[in-house]
Amino acid sequence: MSNIQFKSPSLSHAKDIIRLVDSTPRLDRNSKYAYALWCSHFAPHSVVAIRDEEVIGFLTGFRSPTHPDTYFLWQTATKHRHGVAGLGVDMIDFAVRREIDNGATKIEASVDNDNKPIRVLMKSLAKRLNGRVEEELLYPGSLLSTEDDQHHDEMLMRICLPQDARIERAPRLSIAASRKEAMA
């Protein structure tokens, strides 16, 4: 991982992020303008993964305007065949550590019930942080569906952290470790 750099995106990364979104089949598409906003207005809470000056992954997130102690993980994607095991998980780990260090006490994500990897990851992350997971319906599928496109329910997974939450600096969070921790 030493040749991968995680940092906040700049406007110059917007086109690369748009290409990654376009090449990621299950990811919801947003306007190109929205990704420019993520790289400018929401950059302090988002992440790009760069190897040899190439964006090979991104994560968008933000602090809730109505609940500034809450960090919302919104989208993440990695370049197909990037060759870095656990890259997406490492970006989440990097972003969450940074937000906790800056006062976040809750971590949220909108999750499709069928997305088992992110559900396992969130539960594992909660366990590492000694937090508890709460779940509730965020948006019913009927709200987001159209005649041409049926959308799934969006569930909100929230990790509520204890006052002294810190992610262990030991082994990085990996999908394999996440599954093992979630089952323990």
Q: How many domains does the chain contain in total?
A: 1
Q: Is the pLDDT of residue 181 over 80?
A: no
CATH of the domain at 105: 3.40.630.30
- The 10s digit of each residue's pLDDT in 31-68 is 999 999 999 999 999 999 999 999 999 999 999 999 99
What is the extent of the structural domain holding 12?
4-183
Residue 184 has pLDDT above 60, yes or no: no
Using CA atoms, how far apart are residues 29 and 9, in angstroms rounded to an integer?
19
Cα–Cα dist 137/156, whole Å: 6
pTM (2 decimals)? 0.83
Instruction: Give the ranges where the chain is alpha helix by DSSP (H).
Output: 14-22, 32-38, 87-101, 116-128, 141-144, 175-183
Q: With beta carbons less than 8 A apart as the criterion, state whether 48 and 57 touch.
A: yes
* Predicted confidence (pLDDT) at residue 97 exceeds the cutoff of 60: yes
Q: What is the pLDDT of residue 79?
A: 87
Percent of the chain as helix, strand, coil, to the nearest 5: 35, 25, 40
pLDDT at position 139: 92
CA–CA dist 158, 138 (Å, integer): 11
How far apart are the C-alpha atoms of 43 and 127, rounded to whole Å?
28
